[in-house]
Amino acid sequence: MKTCHTLAAIVLGASFLLSAGCSSGSADHAVPTAAAIAESDQTPVRGREAVLTVYGMSCPLCANNVDKTLLQVPGVQAVRVDMGTGRATVTLDGTTPVTRGQLARAVDRSGFSLQRIEAP
Amino acid sequence: MSAGKRQRPMPAHRRGRLLKAVGPPLGGVASVLSLLCTTAPCRAQEATHTPAATQPAAGGFYVRQKLQYLGFGNDPSPEQREIDQIVSTTTLTYGLRRDMSLSLALPVVYEEKQQGGSTGREVGVEDLSLTFKYRPVQIDLGPIDSVRLAVLGGVEFPSGDGDFSSHSLDPFLGVVFTAILGRHGINQSVSYKFNTGGDEFAIRPGDGPDDALRYDTAYLFRLSPKEYAADTEASTYLTVELNGLYETNGDNEVLMGPGILYEARSFALEAAIGLPVVQDVRHRPEVDVVITLGLRILF
C-alpha cells in the first residue's frame, strides 16, 4: 500500500514539475501585457526620474521587493514607493543610461504587475 | 532621504544563528536566541500557520524563523506520556523566478516528556522539508488588490535523528489560494502528505505512518494604516486561522486562533495561538495548545 502511495506521489510530483516547466511561457501572460511590451522597449529614459505604476504591492514587504530589484538596475540611484497609489519613483544617477525595458524587467522579476512607465 | 526611499548601497545584513542542541534548560533559551538573532527575508500577507501564494522576487531570498510551543495531552500510547515541545523552525526561501520558489525548512525540537513519575528531556532534529512552489495564476487588480493561486510540492527528508526522525522520505502536494482586497486578505491551502514511514506512536500531527491531509484557512485584516500613503513604512494585521489535519487512520484535529502580524519594509514579526476546536484523535496525543512567535527577514 505504501509503495503505491510512494509511486503515486512520484508520478504526481513529476507531472507537477513538468507542467510548471512547460507552462513557463504562459505564466508570463498571466501578468498584464503592458509589462511584456515594455520589457523589450529599448527607449532610454532621458531625465533623472521615471515613475512606474505597479499593481499588486499589497504590503510593505512587497514594496521592498520592488525597491530591491529596481536598485539592481545599473544607473538606478534611488527608489521611492508609494503603496497607496502603486507608484514607484525611480531616480537615476544620470551617468549610466537606463532603458524603459530594464525598468520593466526589474518590476517583472519582483513578481508584480507593471502598468505604466512615465518618463521623459 | 525621504520616508520610503531606498538608496544604494544596500545595507549589509548580519546573520547569526545561535541554535545549539544543548542541555535541557538551555534548549529553549537557545531557541529564543536563534529567533532573535537569525536574520532573513519574508513573505508578505502570510499568516503564521497557513501558507500563502506569495514568494520572494526572482533571485531574492528570505529567512523565516518560527518558535513554537506545543502542549500535548491524552496520549494513547502505552506510556501515557505528558509532552511539551518547543520547536524552532528555520526556513530559507529562494525566488527562482517571479512565479517559482524553493524553500528548505529545518526544525529543531526541545522536548520534555513525563511518564511514570520521571521526566525526560531531549533535543533533536526533525525531518527537513524541501518545498517547490509555482504560482500559475496572478491577477493584480490594483495597486494593492491581488488574487493568486499557487501549487506546491515537495518532500520531507529524514533527519535520521533517533525518535525525532520518521526515517522515511515523505512527499507532499498542495494548492494555495490568496486574495488581498483592500484591508482584507484570505489564504486558503490544502495539502496532502504521503507518509511512507513513521513511528506508530508519533507525537506530532501528520508524522505517523498514515497519510495526512492538511487544510488551512487564514483571514487577515489590516489594522493600520487604514490607507497606504507615500510615507507608509509598516503595517499591522490581525489574523484568524483555522488549521485542520486529517489523517487516513481517522484522526482529525482542527485548531483555531488569533494572531498578530507586524510588517515593516524588510522584516516582519508575528505571534499566534492555536486552540483545538475539533478533536477526534485516537492514534497520537491531542494538541492542547500551540503558541507561535516568528520573525521574517527579506534579503
Same domain, A94 and A51: yes
B143, B180 Cβ separation under 8 angstroms: no
Inform me whether the C-beta atom of residue B230 falls under 8 Å from chain A C-beta atoms.
Answer: yes
Same domain, A17 and A72: no
Nearest-Cα residue of chain A relative to residue B42: A61
Assign residue A109 the CATH number of its domain: 3.30.70.100
Same domain, A25 and A75: no
Q: Which of A32, A54, A61 sits opposite B265 (nearest CB)?
A: A61
Helices A60-71 and A100-110 meet at what angle, rounded to 10? 140
Same domain, A18 and A74: no
Same domain, A12 and A39: no
Same domain, A58 and A17: no
Same domain, A36 and A75: yes
pTM score, whole prediction: 0.79
* Closest by CA position to B59, among listed A69, A34, A98: A69
Query: Across residues A48-77, what is the average pLDDT?
Result: 92
Same domain, A21 and A43: no
- List the strands of the sheet with A76-82, edge to edge: A113-118, A49-55, A87-92, A76-82, B5-7
Residues of B with CB below 8 A from A68's CB?
A: 6, 10, 57, 60, 298
**Structure confidence at residue B144 (pLDDT):** 92
User: Which structural domain range is residue A4 located in?
Assistant: 1-29
Superfamily for domain range B24-298:
monomeric porin ompg (2.40.160.40)
- Total domains present in chain A: 2
Same domain, A59 and A83: yes
3-state secondary structure (DSSP) of residue B287: strand
List, as ranges, residues 237-276 from B with C-beta within 8 Å of A: 263-266, 268
Q: Where are the domains of chain B?
A: 24-298
Inform me whether the C-beta atom of residue B226 falls under 8 Å from chain A C-beta atoms.
Answer: no
Residue B42, burial from CB neighbour count under 10 angstroms (0-12, 13-18, 19+): buried
* Closest by CA position to B35, among listed B299, B298, B294: B294
Write the pLDDT tens digit of every residue in A4-44. Answer: 455 445 544 544 444 444 343 333 334 445 556 677 788 88
Query: In Å, how far is B110's CA from the nearest CA of chain A?
Result: 30
Residue A18, burial from CB neighbour count under 10 angstroms (0-12, 13-18, 19+): exposed
**Alpha-helix runs per DSSP H in chain B:** 24-37
Which residue stretches of chain B have pLDDT < 50?
Answer: 1-6, 8-42
Mean pLDDT across chain A, nearest whole number?
78
Same domain, A67 and A84: yes
Decide if the complex's ipTM is over 0.95.
no
The reply to whether residue A9 touches residue B228, judged by beta carbons under 8 angstroms, is no
**Structure confidence at residue A33 (pLDDT):** 52
Same domain, A90 and A59: yes
Same domain, A24 and A58: no
d(CA B61, CA B136): 20
A72, B1 Cβ separation under 8 angstroms: no
A103, pLDDT greater than 80: yes
Residues of B with CB below 8 A from A23's CB?
A: 136
Query: C-alpha cell of A25?
Result: 511561457
